[in-house]
Structure 1
Amino acid sequence: MKGSCLCGDVRFEVSLERLGMFQCHCQLCRKQAGTASSCGAIVETCDFHWLSGESRIGKWEKESGFSSHFCKRCGSSVPNQFRDSGLYWIPVGLLDDSTMVTVANLFVDEKVSWSNVDSSVNPHQTKPRVDSLIRSVLKENH
Structure 2
Amino acid sequence: MNNKKIYTGGCLCGKIRFEISGDIQDIIYCHCSHCRKAQGSAFATNGNVDAEKFKFISGENDLTGFEVAPGQTKYFCKICGSPIMSKNNNHPDKVRVRLGIIESDIIEKPSAHIFVNSKANWETIEGNLPKFEGYPTKK
TM-score by length of 1: 0.79
Stretches (4+) displaced over 4 A = 17-20, 63-66
Which of these two proteins has the greater Rg computed from alpha carbons?
2
Aligned length: 131
Structure 2 residue 120 is matched with structure 1 residue 112: yes
Distance in 1 between the 2:47 and 2:128 partners? 18
Normalised by the size of structure 2, how large is the TM-score? 0.81
Please show how residues 1-142 of structure 1 align to structure 2 within 5 Å. Answer: 1-16=7-22, 20-83=26-89, 84-99=91-106, 100-118=108-126, 120-129=128-137, 132=138
> Could you tell me which amino acid in structure 2 is paired with residue 78 of structure 1?
I
Structure ranking higher in strand proportion: 2
Residue ranges of structure 2 left out of the alignment (5+ in a row): 1-6
- RCO greater where, 1 or 2, for CA within 8 Å and sep 6 or more? 1
Structure 1: segments with no counterpart, 5+ residues: 136-142
Q: CA RMSD in A?
A: 2.3
For 1:123 and 1:8, the matched residues in 2 are separated by: 34
